Structure 1
Amino acid sequence: MPHARTETSVGTYESHSTSELEDLTEPEQRELKTKLTKLEAEIVTLRHVLAAKERRCGELKRKLGLTALVGLRQNLSKSWLDVQVSNTYVKQKTSAALSTMGTLICRKLGGVKKSATFRSFEGLMGTIKSKVSGGKRAWP
């Protein structure tokens, strides 16, 4: 079955069977073309109306002091706030905090283990253990 392509009002093409065109009578084709012309005219009118409304919107924003930069800043602030309260961000912050705390605790315990007080305590524990175990010292 042969196919033809017809350009639509928005610049795209629709594929249709040429036999469909052949099945239409001359008055039906004229009627469809008239409807198409009216529809395309409506589209143009709507585009003009939309452009006018966008201009009016811009004027009102300028009068209110809402420039594009202010709007962008507000959007960025809101987005950053949304990120901060998101579960993923909170989990990452918690994970980072716990990791940092764990590292600090390890360093502190390492420092305590090297301190003279801990070594003295360790020696005392070794002495007590050797007395309890009957003179056998397990620690070097």
Structure 2
Amino acid sequence: METRQQGLLDPEPVTEVDEEMVSDVDLNNTLTDEEREEILSELTKLEEDISTLRQVLASKEKHHSELKAKLGITPLIEFKQNFNRSWYDMQTSTAYKKTSETLSTAGQKTSAVFTTLGTAISRKFGDMRNSPSFKSFEEKVECTVSNIKTKVGSQGGGGSFEEVLSSAAHASAQETPSNNMSESSDHERTC
């Protein structure tokens, strides 16, 4: 007798059996002729019952389809009803409720963070706008715009807008940082 390679689920090595041993064992010897006929008869009856049940089931399915057709229930309507039922079942599930609550909490926290961030940015812009350097810059811009308006209005079409803009820029560039504070009050009076 030879042994085969052991498989993953085999607890013990499998041995091959000689063909002579198989022919010596007759499995039909355990049944008598009467028992064999009885089993064949029972098998025939079961096959007939299965055939009858298939016919009855086909008849019932046909009647089922006819009743649905009379009620106007189409496959699309059935699909919608099944989908709605499944959606409802999902929404009432514990996992969905927990996920929904978690996302809601996360959304509220995110909203609070953005609100706090927006408030902080607004406060910083307000502080920056009230700073002396921004005020000085704002005054320079206002004076430059005022000077441009004055020059354009007084020249009455004698000079182009580009010429007035370049002369105002040239005048602003000639101002020195030390003169800015003393001149800013002069500019306020002239602007």
What TM-score comes out, normalization by structure 1 length? 0.64
**1:50 — aligned with what?**
57
Distance apart, 1:18 and its partner CA = 4.8
Distance apart, 1:93 and its partner CA = 1.8
Structure (1/2) with the larger helix percentage: 2
**2:113 — aligned with what?**
106
* Secondary structure at the counterpart of residue 66 of structure 1: coil
Letter in 1 for 2:41: T
Q: Which runs of 5+ in 2 are unaligned?
A: 1-20, 128-191
**1:30 — aligned with what?**
37
Q: Which runs of 4+ in 1 moved over 2 A?
A: 113-117
Distance 1:73 1:116, change over 3 A: closer
Structure with the larger RCO, 1 or 2 (CA within 8 Å, 6+ apart): 2
**1:57-98 deviation line (CA, Å, top 9, x unaligned):** 111111111122111110100111111222221222222122
Letter in 1 for 2:120: K
**1:15-60 deviation line (CA, Å, top 9, x unaligned):** xx953x2122222212221121111111111111111111111111
Q: Distance in 2 between matches of 1:116 and 1:49?
A: 81
* Secondary structure at the counterpart of residue 79 of structure 1: helix
Q: Does 1:88 align with 2:95?
A: yes
Q: Among residues 58, 62, 68, which one is paired with 2:69 in the alignment?
A: 62
Q: Distance in 1 between matches of 2:38 and 2:122?
A: 99
- Cα RMSD of the aligned pairs, angstroms, is 2.5
Q: Distance in 1 between matches of 2:42 and 2:106?
A: 70
Distance 1:96 1:49, change over 3 A: same
**1:112-140 deviation line (CA, Å, top 9, x unaligned):** 223349x77xxxxxxxxxxxxxxxxxxxx
Q: Distance in 2 between matches of 1:28 and 1:74?
A: 54
Give the count of matched residue pairs: 105
* Secondary structure at the counterpart of residue 73 of structure 2: coil
Q: Which runs of 5+ in 1 are unaligned?
A: 3-16, 121-140
Q: Distance in 1 between matches of 2:107 and 2:34?
A: 82
Letter in 1 for 2:114: R
Q: Distance in 2 between matches of 1:81 and 1:18?
A: 61
Letter in 1 for 2:99: Q
Q: Which has the larger radius of gyration?
A: 2
Q: Distance in 1 between matches of 2:92 and 2:32?
A: 65
Structure (1/2) with the larger strand percentage: 1
Letter in 2 for 1:35: E
Q: Does 1:39 align with 2:17?
A: no
